[in-house]
Amino acid sequence: MSDDRTAADPAPRLQTLGGVVVHDSEAIARAIALLGEHADPMDANHGIRSWLYAARIGQIQQMRVDAEVLAVSALLHGIGMLDAYAGPYRHEIEGANAARAFALACGWPAPRAQQVWTAVALHASKSIATHMEPEVALCAAGVAFDLYGEGRDLMPAEEVYAIIAAYPRLQLKQGFMKRFCLLARRKPQATADSFVREFGERFVPGYRPGPSAVDRLMNSPFRD
């Protein structure tokens, strides 16, 4: 069976959101409140849906996870794109730094907060996250499920529709297209080695992220 206990709470409170039974705690409530304060409804719903998909996939696959780490990671995975947490680094790192600070402010020990950092930093690198701790893998899986529909065969359709009914997508495709293009426009250098580069190169006039990996290799200072 899946194990939704955490190190801090061996007998967790539970709640049902979008038809999914998930962990409930002060930290999770604070993460949801943070989204409500700084994110628009589209972003907030994306964070919640990503968490619910991640949690449900973990339950179906009977994975043992720290449910609170997974919840905070998935809920806050995208905060690096929000104006309140903007900075010079790629948005995954800005978000990871902010999410770790949030976990520490909740009184979590540093190793547990670092799990959140790793999950948020790798949420857009599913090919790497899949091979890491279950909280990291599930966070990336939940995000990919919501953005790209990856893994739709892992959940019954009626469960997916129940989550979307509770937390509508609110034209997510168009909204995230604009979001990624804005990131490419605002800080092209920070998107050079991320998936955002694809949006910049295709949709942002004058986008110049810096040398590609090919350029860097061929122009390295070594003779061969």
Give residue limits of the domains in the chain.
Answer: 13-168, 171-224
Per-residue pLDDT reduced to its tens digit, 71-117: 999 999 999 999 999 999 999 999 999 999 999 999 999 999 999 99
* Maximum distance among all Cα pairs of the chain, rounded to whole angstroms: 62
Cα–Cα nearest to 145, from 215, 77, 52, 38: 52
With beta carbons less than 8 A apart as the criterion, state whether 46 and 172 touch: yes
- CA 6/CA 162 separation, integer angstroms: 27
Per-residue pLDDT reduced to its tens digit, 37-60: 999 999 999 999 999 999 999 999
Cα–Cα nearest to 135, from 193, 186, 76: 76
Q: Is the pTM of this model over 0.75?
A: yes
CATH topology of domain 13-168: Hypothetical protein af1432 (1.10.3210)
Place of tokens 């942002």: 204
Please count the residues of the chain: 224
**Whole-number pLDDT of residue 13:** 94
What are the structure tokens assigned to 48, written together? 């919640």
Per-residue pLDDT reduced to its tens digit, 141-181: 999 999 999 999 999 999 999 999 999 999 999 999 999 99
**Whole-number pLDDT of residue 158:** 97
